[in-house]
């Protein structure tokens, strides 16, 4: 059997290299053998933006979300490749179900792909989410502290720091600060958004690979 031959050869080599080696060496080789059969772990990134919507910066707010609580939760694999990127920005396409939105009494999970655009600038790191579900389209723009995201995010998803951090609402529809734009029945509204932004990355369970002996 291939795995038995490799294990025996490795153990003999360890004994030849270190005279008088004890069972600790054998145990180490067993661990290495087991580890070689386990697939590398990946990480899942979770971003949560939570706070209150308002004030109304433009539009008529047909859903009456001004003053209501709001929450966006995003989950995606850190191994997700970017759709496109420039020297200081990157776009990721997130699969259906990756984003959950709660705004007042409105609650939905995306049923189609969404996009996330991250821009690194000298005044802020911005995170823009474009989602659509149930006849409602939503664009959330979040201003994070400058340097929150490392340049690594231009190649693959990674956490921002510090976390949590305070999110400040925009004062105008086109100005700096956090805001949410939603379009419902052809009517667009822009609301400020203030609260906190947090994120974390957890390792996915490592799954054994197929046994070479089978």
Q: Does 176 map to a domain?
A: yes
Q: Does 213 map to a domain?
A: no
Q: Kindly tell me if the per-residue pLDDT of 11 is higher than 80.
A: no
Q: Does 90 map to a domain?
A: yes
Structure confidence at residue 206 (pLDDT): 57
Structure confidence at residue 84 (pLDDT): 96
- List the structure tokens of 184: 């419902």
Q: Does 214 map to a domain?
A: no
Least confident among 14-23, 57-66, 173-182: 14-23
Structure confidence at residue 133 (pLDDT): 84
- List the structure tokens of 106: 């409105």
Q: Kindly tell me if the per-residue pLDDT of 66 is higher than 60.
A: yes
- Do 162 and 199 fall into the same domain? yes
Report the alpha-carbon distance of residue 68 to residue 2 in Å, rounded: 63
When pLDDT is cut at 50, 70 and 90, the band that residue 3 belongs to is very low
- Do 149 and 199 fall into the same domain? yes
When pLDDT is cut at 50, 70 and 90, the band that residue 125 belongs to is very high
- Do 28 and 110 fall into the same domain? no
- Do 152 and 181 fall into the same domain? yes
Total domains in the fold of the chain: 2
- Do 161 and 180 fall into the same domain? yes
Report the alpha-carbon distance of residue 122 to residue 143 in Å, rounded: 12
Work out the angle between the directed axes of helices 2-17 and 23-35 (0-180°, nearest 10): 140
- Do 110 and 29 fall into the same domain? no
Task: Return the percentage of the chain with pLDDT > 90, whole number.
Answer: 72
Q: Does 208 map to a domain?
A: no
Kindly report, residue by residue over 193-209, the tens digit of the pLDDT: 999 999 999 997 655 55
* Phi, psi of 123, rounded to the nearest 5 degrees: -110, -20
Least confident among 34-43, 125-134, 200-209: 34-43
Task: Return the percentage of the chain with pLDDT > 70, whole number.
Answer: 76
Report the alpha-carbon distance of residue 149 to residue 124 in Å, rounded: 10
Per the DSSP assignment, residues forming a β-bridge with 40 are none
Q: Which residue has the higher pLDDT, 214 or 189?
A: 189
Averaged pLDDT of the chain:
83
On whether the CB atoms of residues 144 and 103 are closer than 8 A, the answer is: no
- Do 69 and 120 fall into the same domain? yes
Report the alpha-carbon distance of residue 209 to residue 40 in Å, rounded: 10
Structure confidence at residue 212 (pLDDT): 44
Report the alpha-carbon distance of residue 123 to residue 114 in Å, rounded: 26
- Do 167 and 123 fall into the same domain? yes
- Do 160 and 108 fall into the same domain? yes
> Which structural domain, as residue segments, surrounds residue 26?
2-35
Q: Kindly tell me if the per-residue pLDDT of 38 is higher than 80.
A: no
Q: Kindly tell me if the per-residue pLDDT of 211 is higher than 70.
A: no
Per the DSSP assignment, residues forming a β-bridge with 188 are 183
Structure confidence at residue 13 (pLDDT): 33
- Do 27 and 49 fall into the same domain? no
- Do 194 and 134 fall into the same domain? yes
Place of tokens 């052809």: 186
- Do 10 and 56 fall into the same domain? no
Structure confidence at residue 39 (pLDDT): 43
């Amino acid at each position: 059997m291939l795995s038995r031959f490799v294990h025996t050869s490795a153990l003999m080599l360890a004994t030849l290299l270190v005279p008088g080696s004890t069972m600790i060496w054998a145990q180490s080789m067993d661990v290495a053998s087991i580890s070689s059969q386990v697939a590398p772990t990946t990480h899942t990134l979770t971003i949560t933006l939570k706070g209150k919507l308002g004030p109304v910066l433009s539009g008529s707010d047909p859903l009456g979300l001004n003053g209501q609580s709001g929450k966006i939760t995003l989950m995606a694999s850190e191994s997700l490749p970017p759709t496109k990127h420039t020297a200081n920005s990157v776009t990721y396409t997130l699969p259906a179900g990756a984003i959950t939105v709660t705004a007042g009494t409105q609650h939905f999970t995306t049923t189609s792909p969404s996009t996330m655009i991250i821009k690194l600038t000298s005044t802020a790191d911005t995170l823009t989410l474009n989602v659509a579900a149930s006849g409602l389209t939503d664009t959330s723009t979040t201003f994070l502290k400058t340097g929150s995201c490392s340049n690594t995010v231009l190649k693959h998803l990674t956490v921002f720091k510090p976390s949590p951090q305070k999110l400040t609402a925009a004062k105008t529809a086109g100005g700096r600060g956090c805001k949410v734009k939603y379009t419902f029945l052809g009517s667009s509204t822009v609301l400020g958004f203030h609260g906190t932004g947090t994120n974390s990355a957890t390792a996915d369970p490592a799954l054994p690979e197929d046994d070479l002996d089978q």
